Amino acid sequence: SELVWECYRRLDGSPRFPARPMNFRAPDGSMPAFWTELFERLGEQIPEGVPGTNPNDMARDPQLDEVGRWF
């Protein structure tokens, strides 16, 4: 999603889509083991709350029009 975010920058370089705080938590507020294990293997902290991109948010953005569906 970050690649798409970068590709859709405006001519002046400003982002077309807003960065939003990322949420990796489960609906009950716990941190799923998948994310904990993945980021431990990467030697990184989980970027919880850090501004970032979300493909679902971008797909619902009113700036985009769906032109077809292949699935």
The CB-side HSE value for 62 (13 A sphere, CA atoms) comes to 0
> What confidence tens digit (pLDDT) does each residue in 7-51 have?
989 999 999 988 899 999 999 999 999 999 999 999 999 999 999
> What confidence tens digit (pLDDT) does each residue in 50-64 have?
999 888 888 888 988
- Between CA 33 and CA 26 the distance in angstroms is 10
- Between CA 8 and CA 20 the distance in angstroms is 16
pLDDT on residue 70:
85
User: How far from the centroid of its chain's Cα atoms is residue 10's Cα?
Assistant: 19
Find tokens 């405006």 and name the residue: 10
Length of the chain: 71
pLDDT on residue 26:
97
